[in-house]
C-alpha cells in the first residue's frame, strides 16, 4: 500500500494537452512547409490547437478531481458517505463506488468488532496474558498481567519483569522459528512458587512475528499433588505395618509355635489387636474420604449438642474405663442447638474425648464444657461476634509444644508416634475432626500448656 497521497499531477495535464494538440499542430506545420499558409497563420493555428487541447485537458482534469478526492478519503479511512462523485465524464461511476463504499464500511465494522472481541477475550482471562514483539517489548498485556506484575507493561521491555532464561529462549524460538512451547519456572526471589508459561507464535496486524505468553501459577497444584502422594505413601505404610506383623505371626503359628498352645493364645490376642488396628485405619480412611466428598454440602438436621455429648461419652465407655478416665460434662442451661449432622458431631466429640483420655494423665478427669456465646470472642476465629455454641474438651496431660499445634490436624501427624500407636491411634482423628468442623461452618481453637494439659475448643454457629 502506497503512503503517497493520491494527487493529479500538473505535468500529466500538460503532456495530455501536448498530445491532444498534435492534430492541430502537425497540419499547421505541413501547411506552412508546403507554402499553403504563411508563418503567422501556421503559428496562430498551432497556438489555437494548443489552447483548445489545454482547455480540454484541464476540463478532464477537473472532472477527475472529485474522484481522486473520494479515493483519497477512502484510503485514509475518512467518511466517504454522501460524497460519491458524479460527473459528466463518468456517469456509471456512482453505482460501483457506492458498492465499494458499503463494502469498505462493512469491513471496517467487522475489523473493529473482531478487535473488540479479541480484547474482551484477552481481558476476561484470569491468567496473565502478554504479547511480546521481536525486540522483546510488550505490545499488549491484559489486566491480570498488570495486576500480577503490579505495573503498566505495554511498551516496556519484557526482560524488566520476566528474566527466566528458558522463557526468553522460548520466546526467541517462537518468533524466529515459529515454535510453540511450555516452560515451568520459579521466580528467583520466591523459589517456593511455581509457574507454567505457554508460549505461542503469532503475527501482528502489520505482519511482524510476535509471541503470546500465558502464565499460570501451579504452586497450589504442585502442593496438592505432593500432599496426595504423601498421603498415599503414609496410608500404605500405616496399613503395611499391622499386615507385616500379622503375616509374621501366621508364619510363627505354622512353624515354631505349631504345638505350643500358650504361645498360640498369646499370638492370637496380638493378631486380634493388629487386625482391629487395620479395621480402625480403614474406617477412618473411609470417613475421611466421605467427609471430603460432602464438604460443600452443608448439614441440615437440628442437633442438640447436649445429646451429642451424652451419646459420645456412652459410646466411649469401655475405652474410658480402660484408661480410668472420668468425664465431667458441664452443660449450660438453655438451648445448645446447631444445624448439623448428629453422627458426624458425635464422631467429632468422641475423637476429642478419646484424645483427652489417651494423652491425659491416667485417672485425671476430662471436662467437656458446652456453652452458648452471644457474641463469641476472638478465639472463635471467623465466628467471633456471632452467636455460637462452644464445646471445649479439657484434659490434664503432658500438653503439646507450641510448634506442633499448627500441624495437629494434618493427616497422620502425631507428636509422639509410638505413644499414639500404643494407644491404638490412627493419626487421622483430628484430620477427620477438622473436616467435620469445616462442613459445619465452625472453627477449632487449641490451647495447650506443657505439663498442665490441653483445651480443644470447637465453635459452631448457633441455631
Ligand atoms: N489432648 C491431647 N493431648 C496431647 N496430645 C494430643 C491431644 N490430642 C491430640 N494430640 C496429639 O495430636 C496427635 C494427632 O491426634 P489424632 O489426629 O487424634 O491422632 P491419634 O490420636 O490417632 O494419634 C496425637 O498423636 C497426639 O500426639
Ligand atoms: Mg485421636
Domains in the chain, CATH or no CATH each: 10-108 (no CATH), 125-217 (3.30.450.20), 224-294 (1.10.287.130), 299-463 (3.30.565.10)
Rounded to the nearest 10 degrees, the angle between the axes of helix 342-359 and helix 305-315 is 50
Give me the phi and psi of 340, to 5 degrees please. Answer: -160, -175
pLDDT at 86: 76
**What is the average per-residue pLDDT within 71-100?**
79
Cα 461 to ligand 2 centroid, rounded to whole Å:
24
Instruction: Report the chain's terminal Cα–Cα distance, integer Å.
Output: 75
Pocket test for ligand 1, best of 277, 426, 430 (most atoms within 8 A of CB): 430
- On the question of pLDDT at 393 being above 80, the answer is yes
Q: Give the lowest-confidence range in 58-67, 272-281, 346-355.
A: 58-67
Higher-pLDDT residue of 446, 97: 446
Cα(266)–Cα(4) distance, integer angstroms? 105
CB of 353 shorter than 6 A to ligand 1: no
Ligand 1 binding pocket includes 453 (Cβ within 6 Å): no
| Residue 7 reports pLDDT greater than 70 | no
Residues 389 and 375: their CA atoms lie apart, in Å, by: 10
Contact 130, 158 (CB under 8 A): yes
Which of 241, 355, 453 has most ligand 1 atoms within 8 Å of CB, for mutation?
355
What integer is the mean pLDDT of 68-83? 80
What are φ and ψ of residue 13, in 5° steps? -65, -40
| Nearest-CA residue for atom 1 of ligand 1 | 356
Share of the chain above pLDDT 70, in %: 98
Q: How far apart are CA 305 and CA 298, in angstroms?
A: 17
Instruction: Give 24: exposed, middle or buried? Use CB within 10 Å, 0-12, 13-18, 19+.
Output: middle
pLDDT of 318-336, one tens digit each?
999 999 999 999 999 989 9
Residue of 447, 446, 434 lying closest to 344 (CA atoms)? 434
For residue 375, whether the previous peptide bond is cis, meaning omega lies within 30 degrees of 0, is yes
Atom number in ligand 1 closest to CA 425: 22
In sign, the C-alpha dihedral spanning 433, 434, 439, 440 is positive
pLDDT at 408: 97
Residues, beta carbon < 5 Å, ion ligand 2: 355, 425, 429
Q: Given pLDDT bands bounded at 50, 70 and 90, which one contains residue 354? A: very high
pLDDT at 357 over 60: yes
pLDDT: which is higher, 305 or 11: 305
Q: Is the Cβ atom of 430 under 6 angstroms away from ligand 1? A: yes
DSSP assignment letter at 6: P
Check pLDDT > 50 for residue 120: yes
pLDDT in tens, 160-198: 989 899 999 999 999 999 999 999 999 888 888 899 999
Taking the C-alpha atoms of residue 252 and residue 263, their distance in angstroms, rounded to an integer, is 10
What's the pLDDT tens digit per position in 364-389? 999 999 999 999 999 999 999 999 99
454 lines ligand 1 (CB under 6 A): yes
Alpha helices (runs of H) in 255-376, residue ranges in sequence order: 261-294, 305-315, 317-322, 342-359
- Cell (9 digits) for 128: 496473565
Residues 6 or more apart whose CB falls under 8 angstroms from that of 338 comprise 302, 303, 305, 345, 389, 440, 460, 461, 462, 463
Which ligand is the nearest neighbour of the Cα of 456? 1
Distance (Å) from CA 335 to ligand 2 centroid: 29
Q: Is 370 in the pocket of ligand 1 (CB under 6 A)?
A: no
Q: Are 385 and 412 in contact (CB under 8 A)?
A: no
Q: Supply the pLDDT for residue 192.
A: 84
Q: What is the pLDDT of residue 72?
A: 86
Name the residue at shortest CA distance from atom 13 of ligand 1.
414
Q: What does the DSSP assignment read for 98-165?
A: HHHHHHHHHHHHHHHHHHHHHHHHHHH-SS-EEEEETTSBEEEE-HHHHHHHTS--TTSBGGGT---H
Report the C-alpha gap between 294 and 273 in whole angstroms.
31
The whole-number pLDDT of residue 5 equals 62
Instruction: Give residue 83's pLDDT.
Output: 72
The HSE-up count of residue 113 (CA atoms within 13 Å, CB side) is 6
pLDDT at 429 over 50: yes
| For residue 85, pLDDT beyond 90 | no
- pLDDT of residue 208 exceeding 70, the answer is yes
> Which atom of ligand 1 has the smallest separation from the CA of 426?
22
Inter-axis angle of helices 261-294 and 429-439, nearest 10: 20
Q: Residue 359 C-alpha to ligand 1 middle, in angstroms?
A: 7
The set of cell numbers assigned to 37 is 499558409
DSSP character for 416?
S
Distance 440 CA to ligand 2 centre (A): 20
pLDDT above 90 covers a percentage of the chain that reads 76
1: confidence class by pLDDT, cuts 50, 70, 90 = very low
Tell which atom from ligand 1 comes closest to the C-alpha of 397.
Answer: 3
Which atom of ligand 1 sits closest to the CA of residue 424? 22
Q: Which residues contact 430 (CB under 8 A, 6 or more apart)?
A: 351, 355, 408, 409, 413
Answer whether residue 11 shows pLDDT above 70: yes
> Are the C-beta atoms of 57 and 13 separated by less than 8 Å?
yes
CA of 448 from ligand 1 middle (Å) equals: 12
- Per the listing, cell 487395620 goes with 278
Assess contact for 417 and 343: CB atoms under 8 A. Answer: no
Distance CA 380, CA 384 (A): 5
What is the tens place of the pLDDT at every residue in 394-427? 999 999 999 999 999 999 999 999 999 888 899 9
Q: What is the mean pLDDT of residues 133-142?
A: 95
What is the model's pLDDT at position 2? 47
pLDDT digits (tens, 9 = 90+) for 21-31: 999 999 999 99
Q: Does residue 393 have its Cβ closer than 6 Å to ligand 1?
A: no
Q: How far is the CA of 91 from the centre of ligand 2 (A)?
A: 98
Measured between alpha carbons, how far is 294 from 297 in angstroms, rounded to an integer? 5
- 3-class DSSP assignment, residue 21: helix
4 has a pLDDT exceeding 90: no
Amino acid at each position: 500500500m502506497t503512503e503517497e497521497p493520491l494527487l493529479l499531477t500538473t505535468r500529466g495535464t500538460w503532456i495530455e494537452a501536448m498530445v491532444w494538440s498534435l492534430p492541430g499542430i502537425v497540419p499547421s506545420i505541413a501547411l506552412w512547409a508546403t507554402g499553403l499558409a504563411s508563418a503567422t497563420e501556421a503559428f496562430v493555428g498551432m497556438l489555437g490547437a494548443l489552447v483548445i487541447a489545454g482547455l480540454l485537458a484541464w476540463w478532464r482534469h477537473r472532472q477527475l478531481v472529485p474522484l481522486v478526492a473520494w479515493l483519497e478519503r477512502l484510503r485514509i479511512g475518512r467518511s466517504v458517505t454522501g460524497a460519491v462523485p458524479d460527473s459528466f465524464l463518468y456517469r456509471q461511476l456512482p453505482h460501483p463506488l457506492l458498492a465499494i463504499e458499503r463494502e469498505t464500511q462493512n469491513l471496517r465494522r467487522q475489523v473493529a468488532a473482531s478487535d473488540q472481541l479479541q480484547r474482551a477475550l484477552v481481558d476476561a482471562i484470569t491468567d496473565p496474558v502478554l504479547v511480546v514483539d521481536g525486540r522483546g517489548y510488550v505490545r499488549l498485556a491484559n489486566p491480570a498481567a498488570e495486576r500480577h506484575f503490579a505495573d503498566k507493561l505495554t511498551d516496556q521491555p519484557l526482560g524488566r519483569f520476566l528474566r527466566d532464561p528458558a522463557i526468553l529462549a522460548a520466546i526467541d524460538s517462537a518468533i524466529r522459528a515459529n515454535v510453540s512451547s511450555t516452560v515451568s519456572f520459579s521466580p528467583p526471589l520466591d523459589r517456593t512458587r511455581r509457574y507454567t508459561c505457554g508460549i505461542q507464535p503469532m503475527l501482528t496486524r502489520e505482519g511482524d512475528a510476535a509471541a503470546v505468553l500465558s502464565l499460570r501459577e501451579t504452586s497450589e497444584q504442585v502442593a496438592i499433588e505432593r500432599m496426595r502422594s504423601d498421603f498415599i505413601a503414609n496410608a500404605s505404610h500405616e496399613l503395611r505395618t499391622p499386615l507385616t506383623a500379622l503375616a509374621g505371626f501366621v508364619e510363627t503359628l505354622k512353624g515354631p509355635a505349631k504345638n505350643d498352645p500358650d504361645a498360640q493364645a498369646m499370638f492370637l490376642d496380638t493378631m486380634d489387636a493388629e487386625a482391629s488396628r487395620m479395621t480402625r485405619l480403614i474406617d477412618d480412611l473411609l470417613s475421611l474420604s466421605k467427609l471430603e466428598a460432602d464438604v460443600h454440602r452443608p448439614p441440615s438436621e437440628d442437633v442438640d449438642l447436649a445429646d451429642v455429648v451424652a451419646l459420645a461419652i456412652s459410646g466411649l465407655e469401655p475405652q474410658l474405663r480402660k484408661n480410668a478416665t472420668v468425664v465431667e460434662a458441664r452443660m449450660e442451661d438453655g438451648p445448645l442447638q446447631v444445624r448439623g449432622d448428629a453422627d458426624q458431631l458425635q464422631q467429632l466429640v468422641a475423637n476429642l474425648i478419646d484424645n483427652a483420655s489417651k494423652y491425659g494423665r491416667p485417672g485425671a478427669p476430662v471436662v467437656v464444657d458446652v456453652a452458648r456465646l452471644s457474641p463469641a470472642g476472638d478465639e472463635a476465629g471467623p465466628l467471633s461476634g456471632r452467636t455460637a455454641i462452644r464445646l471445649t474438651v479439657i484434659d490434664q496431660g503432658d500438653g503439646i509444644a507450641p510448634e506442633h499445634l499448627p500441624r495437629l490436624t494434618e493427616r497422620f501427624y502425631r507428636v509422639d508416634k509410638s505413644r499414639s500407636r500404643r494407644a491404638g491411634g490412627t493419626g487421622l482423628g483430628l484430620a477427620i475432626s477438622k473436616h467435620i468442623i469445616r462442613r459445619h461452618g465452625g472453627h477449632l481453637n487449641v490451647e495447650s500448656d506443657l505439663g498442665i494439659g490441653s483445651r480443644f475448643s470447637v465453635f459452631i454457629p448457633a441455631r
